Amino acid sequence: MNQNKARQIPFFALILTLAFIFIIIVIFHRNMKTVRPVFGGAFTTDNVVVIDPGHGGMDGGATGVSGMLEKDCTLKISKKLDTLMAFLGIPTVMTRTEDLSLDYRDDATVRQNKVADLNARLKIVENTENPIFLSVHLNLFTQSQYRGAQVFYAPKSPMSETLAKVMQQSLLTALNDGNTRTYKKASSDIFLMKNAPCPAITVECGFVSNPEEEALLKDDAYQKKLALAIAGGYIGYLNETA
């Protein structure tokens, strides 16, 4: 057996284990609101995962070909991820749990409110002990044929690239959709990736400009699959850095 195959076996076992756990969540906690950390301590870590549903409130983010707003989809995926993390006993903080812009002011301009929102998200990260930052977004392009989830990592923390590498592999494995995208360094104009003082990644869950992928992103079951893939990627990162 070659080394690549040997390394893949524990990863696939992890995905199957998480899939079984997630089925239990769906069966016994269908409202996805009251899950407790049943496996508290199962994954030993001093880190707190800051889950950041991209956009919100006045900022809808990207608009899909059918009119779906990025802010709504990212919040749904993030809530499912938060529920799954809680079930696994992994501590989390969410930057928002509702459709709102953080630190919004009626008398401020659109630009001022966007800047205030980003600074508020950064402050949540800075005020969290031992944070790991996961920002959830959707992608958009002018041509509709482009598709596939992709991870971007912040350059400030060396561990961001490790997290991105493991997360990208988890998405490719769990979604199994022929995606060949690779993880990349975030551009310097992405505020939260530039300034996050901890391991940080942006997970672009798919392209809303692609009709077939947008339809998937709107689907509740597919959102659960994405949440599972992201949780699996994070646990893979814990194993990688243990």
CATH architecture for the domain at 47-241: 3-Layer(aba) Sandwich (3.40)
Residues in Cβ contact with 179 at an 8 Å cutoff, skipping those fewer than 6 apart: 147, 148, 149, 171, 172
- The predicted pLDDT at position 177 comes to 84
Q: Which long-range contacts (CB under 8 A, 24 or more apart) does 165-169 make?
A: 166/233, 166/236, 166/237, 166/240, 167/201, 167/203, 167/230, 167/233, 167/234, 167/236, 167/237, 168/233, 169/11, 169/233, 169/236
Q: Tens of pLDDT along 190-230?
A: 999 999 999 999 999 999 999 999 999 999 999 999 999 99
Mean pLDDT of 170-187: 93
32 pLDDT above the threshold of 60:
no
Residue ranges per structural domain of the chain: 47-241
Mean pLDDT of 87-95: 93
Which pTM does this prediction carry?
Answer: 0.85
> How far is Cα 155 from Cα 188, in angstroms, rounded to an integer?
9
Q: Which of 14-18, 23-27, 120-124 has the lowest mean pLDDT?
A: 23-27
Parallel/antiparallel/unpaired status of strands 131-139 and 184-185? unpaired
Among residues 167, 147, 150, 165, which one has the least CA distance to residue 204? 150
Q: Confidence class of residue 120 from pLDDT cuts 50, 70 and 90?
A: very high
